[in-house]
Amino acid sequence: MTSIWQIRNLCRTLWAGLLLLSACATTIPPDVLTRVDHDISFQNLGNDPEAFVGKTIVLGGDIISAENRPEKTILVVLQHDLDGDLKPLGDDQSKGRFMVVVPEFLDPVIYAKGRRITAVGTVTGKEIRQLNSIPYVYPVIEETYLYLWPVEKIPDSEPRVYFGIGIGIGSYGF
Q: What angle do CA 111, 93, 141 make, to 5 degrees?
A: 45
Domains (range + CATH), the chain: 27-148 (2.40.50.140)
Q: What are the beta bridge partners of residue 77?
A: 63, 98
Residue 1's pLDDT is 53
Other C-beta atoms closer than 10 Å to the C-beta of 115 total: 16
Q: What is the DSSP letter of 153?
A: P
Residue 22's pLDDT is 42
Whether 26 and 118 have beta carbons less than 8 Å apart is answered as no
Region for residue 96 given its phi and psi (left: phi exceeds 0; alpha: psi -120 to 50; beta: otherwise): left
Tens place of pLDDT per residue across the chain (174 aa): 556 766 665 556 555 554 444 444 568 999 999 999 999 999 999 999 999 999 999 999 999 999 999 999 999 999 999 999 999 998 888 899 999 999 999 999 999 999 999 999 999 999 999 999 999 999 999 999 999 999 877 766 666 665 566 665 555 554
Spatial CA neighbour of 88 closest among 56, 63, 112 = 63
Other C-beta atoms closer than 10 Å to the C-beta of 111 total: 19
Q: Is 97 helix (H, G, I), strand (E, B) or coil?
A: strand
Residue 152's pLDDT is 79
Rounded distance between C-alpha atoms, residue 24 and residue 20, angstroms:
6
Other C-beta atoms closer than 10 Å to the C-beta of 60 total: 24
Phi, psi torsion values for 58, nearest 5 degrees: -120, 130
